[in-house]
A = this chain, B = another copy of it.
């Protein structure tokens, strides 16, 4: 028996569709939105509307932006000869936050995942190939996630790119800074050994 008012019930349902938000959390969030000053609740509603109205994909790299070209593609100080390929805009953001990469990006908007019915055609791979064909890149860095699907996507793309005179690299794997070997799993140790570097 649902004793929520209709609008509350609807809000709980909608909040419950967010990732990681269960029924109980959705109720808590709904009551929060009912309790806060009206302006604060409406600010969230407006932010959702605005993001869907204003935000689009960069016509070059498919990063998120509010014009046809994103801040990175518009920035002349970036190294336009190095291209970093990521799955999602948020991956791009993580890389940017590290401030370790000064080149440009290409966002695939997903990874090849046959089990989820996502094939190469649903990603921005065609645009990537076009960019590499027509651009002056010396290096393409595959920075997909270190998962089976991410690795598979990188492998697929690197095969397509092998016809171009461009170096293809991928992110280093190994033990993580600040971790202890005792708790590293077998794969991490194997990666670290395979990719060991000279002192």
Residues in A lying within 8 Å of B, measured CB to CB: 1, 3-8, 10-11, 13-15, 17-20, 25, 27-34, 38, 40-55, 64-66, 70-72, 88-90, 92-93, 96-97, 99
Contacts and interface: CB of A to CB of B under 8 A. Distances in A.
Task: Count copies of this chain in the complex.
Answer: 2
B5 A18 contact: no
B40 A48 contact: no
A interface majority secondary structure: helix
B93 A51 contact: no
A17 B42 CA distance: 13
Contact of A14 (B43, B90, B92): B43
A21 B8 CA distance: 20
B66 A11 contact: no
A48 B42 contact: yes
Given A20-B28, A30-B51, 9 more contacts: A3-B72, A3-B96, A5-B66, A7-B50, A7-B54, A11-B48, A18-B44, A34-B64, A45-B49
Given A48-B42, A72-B3, A19 B8 contact: no
A27 B90 contact: yes
A47 B1 contact: no
Nearest to A96: B3
A192 B7 CA distance: 40
A176 to B, nearest CB: 17
Contacts of A93: 3-4, 27
A52 B31 CA distance: 11
Given A51-B34, A89-B31, A44 B64 contact: no
A7 B45 contact: no
Contact of A19 (B28, B66, B92): B28
Contacts of A99: 1
Contacts of A18: 29, 32-33, 44
